[in-house]
């Protein structure tokens, strides 16, 4: 069976790596891929990003199964395009992907279906947005309505930060947000206190299977300081997601979302990621939805997953009104998986490209360096994006995982590289 992974980041490298080890998979293609997938002869990079051209290529090549990594192709309707031509693909349709591609759609959906989330309002007029912030006070959260590669959220601790965020989201578009119809909008919502966790499930249109729990580190600097990023590291499992929190998240957030989409005439398939804020009493609220696996959470999750990923996705894409995920159970490595993101100079606002990377180690059973923002030219692998690598390891506990991950990371070099030194600290505190 030939498999296609759509995307070019660390999440897609991890998916390709996992699928490559599956019994029935003969070849893994990655479109467009990155320097890491180019470096590994087990993968073939396909330099196509246009949705229709990619579908045509996949048909010609005889691809048996496609899995979509990033949000952009989902929002562009890649799942609809493949399915309309009778091809098996795992991901959310364009209509379902609005849960991620439009913060305004997502918040209105949650309000309509009684899914716990922060109080909010939506604005396209800067004057009205500024007035709302003055009325509500700080801390307060400002979110760009559109796709912003994980960076379109500002948790403003002061009114000045909130006003600045409104201006650069509505007027300057510094983050390069891909706006939805109607132009620039922001969602402004109450600040929720607590601990964040990533709650990710697979859905085949009816049946839902949760993945192992995970937690990522959004802030650039140690101790959760500095600006928000797309994620500076992650680990699995996440102790904050207790059995009770897990049950509540499924009962109060995940299942009502799948059923709510169905009530709205949308069948949900693909990965569903709920970013949770868990308060001191263990009550989860929804910070956001993503219609895909998290990045960098995917890298530790794929390291821990013992089940055959191809068979899981094959069952999920079984033709019919829905798939056969009810016949699947997932098996997880008991060990801790932890990933440290190595970012480029200037990340997150002005990442530098073109720095040569040296010291990349060969993968082992318990340590893999997944590539994200890299490109291979000749024998040289260089930086090509903000988040460059994710050094991911397995170990018996969090402290050992930290030691191993940072030992590997210290052997890698490129000019200006930056990374946090405390990934996983919440699991070892106290």
pLDDT of 150: 54
Contact 119, 108 (CB under 8 A): no
Output the CA angle 218-219-220, nearest 5 degrees. 120
Cis peptide before 237 (omega within 30 of 0): yes
The SS3 assignment for 310 reads helix
Q: Which residues are paired to 418 by β-bridges?
A: 343
**Cβ(391)–Cβ(339) under 8 Å?**
yes
Residue 171 pLDDT = 82
Given this model, what pLDDT does residue 264 score? Answer: 97
Q: SS3 of 370, please?
A: strand
β-pair partners for 30: 5, 45
Per residue of the chain (430 residues), what is the pLDDT tens digit? 999 999 999 999 999 999 999 999 999 999 999 999 999 999 999 999 999 999 999 999 999 999 999 999 999 999 999 999 999 999 999 999 999 988 889 999 999 999 999 999 999 899 999 999 999 999 999 988 876 655 578 889 999 999 999 998 888 765 555 566 667 889 999 999 999 999 999 999 999 999 999 999 999 999 999 988 989 999 999 999 999 999 999 999 999 999 999 999 999 999 999 999 999 999 999 999 999 999 999 999 999 999 999 999 999 999 988 999 999 999 999 999 999 999 999 999 999 999 999 999 999 999 999 999 999 999 999 999 999 999 999 999 999 999 999 999 999 999 999 999 999 998 986 4
Cβ-contact 241, 278 below 8 angstroms: yes
Give the C-alpha separation, 202 to 211, whole Å: 7
Show the 3-state SS of 332-396: ECCCEEEEEEEECCCCCCCCCCCCECECCCCCECCEEEEECCEEEECCEEEECCCEEEEEEEEEC
| Cα–Cα distance measured from residue 367 to residue 372, given in angstroms and rounded to the nearest whole number | 16
**What distance in Å separates the CA atoms of residue 91 and residue 89, rounded to the nearest whole number?**
6
Q: What b/e sequence results for 105-118 when a residue is b if at least 16 CB atoms lie within 10 Å of its CB, and e otherwise?
A: bbbebbeeeebbbb
pTM of the entire predicted model: 0.92
Gap between the Cα atoms of 217 and 206, Å rounded? 31
Element holding 405 (H helix, E strand): helix 398-410
Pairing of the two strands 2-7 and 65-68: parallel
């Amino acid at each position: 069976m030939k498999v296609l992974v759509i995307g070019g980041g660390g999440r897609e490298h991890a998916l390709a790596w996992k699928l490559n080890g599956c019994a029935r998979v003969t070849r893994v293609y990655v479109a467009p891929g990155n320097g890491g997938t180019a470096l590994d002869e087990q993968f073939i990079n396909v330099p196509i990003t246009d949705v229709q051209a990619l579908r045509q290529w996949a048909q010609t090549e005889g691809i048996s199964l496609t899995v979509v990594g990033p949000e952009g192709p989902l929002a562009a309707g890649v799942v609809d395009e493949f399915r309309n031509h009778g091809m098996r693909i795992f991901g959310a349709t364009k209509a379902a992907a609005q849960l991620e591609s439009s913060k305004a759609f997502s918040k209105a959906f949650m309000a309509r279906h009684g899914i716990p989330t922060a109080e909010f309002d939506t604005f396209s007029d800067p004057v009205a947005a500024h007035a709302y912030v003055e009325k509500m006070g700080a801390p307060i959260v400002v979110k760009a309505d559109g796709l912003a590669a994980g960076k379109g959220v500002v948790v403003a601790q002061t009114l000045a930060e909130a006003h600045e965020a409104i201006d650069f989201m509505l007027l300057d578009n510094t983050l390069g947000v891909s706006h939805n119809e109607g132009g620039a909008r922001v969602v402004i919502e109450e600040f929720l206190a607590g601990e964040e966790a990533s709650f990710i499930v697979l859905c085949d249109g009816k049946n839902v299977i949760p993945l192992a729990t995970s937690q990522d580190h959004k802030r650039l600097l140690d101790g959760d300081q500095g600006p928000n990023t797309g994620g500076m590291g992650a680990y699995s499992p996440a102790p904050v997601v207790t059995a009770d929190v897990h049950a509540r998240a499924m009962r109060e957030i995940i299942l009502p979302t799948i059923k709510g989409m169905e009530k709205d005439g949308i069948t949900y398939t693909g990965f569903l990621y709920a970013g949770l804020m868990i308060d001191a009493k263990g009550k989860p609220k929804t910070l956001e939805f993503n219609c895909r696996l998290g990045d960098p959470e995917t890298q530790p999750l794929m390291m821990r997953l013992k089940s055959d990923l191809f068979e899981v996705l094959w069952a999920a894409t079984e033709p019919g009104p829905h798939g056969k995920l009810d016949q699947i159970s997932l098996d997880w490595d008991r060990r801790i998986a932890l990933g440290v993101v190595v970012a480029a100079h200037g990340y997150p606002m002005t990442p530098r490209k073109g720095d040569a990377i040296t010291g990349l180690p060969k993968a082992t059973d318990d340590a893999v360096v997944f590539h994200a923002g890299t490109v291979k030219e000749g024998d040289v692998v260089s930086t090509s994006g903000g988040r460059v690598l994710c050094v991911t390891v397995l170990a018996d506990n969090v402290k050992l995982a930290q030691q191993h991950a940072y030992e590997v990371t210290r052997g890698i070099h490129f000019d200006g590289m930056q990374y946090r030194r405390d990934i996983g600290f919440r699991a070892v505190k106290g």
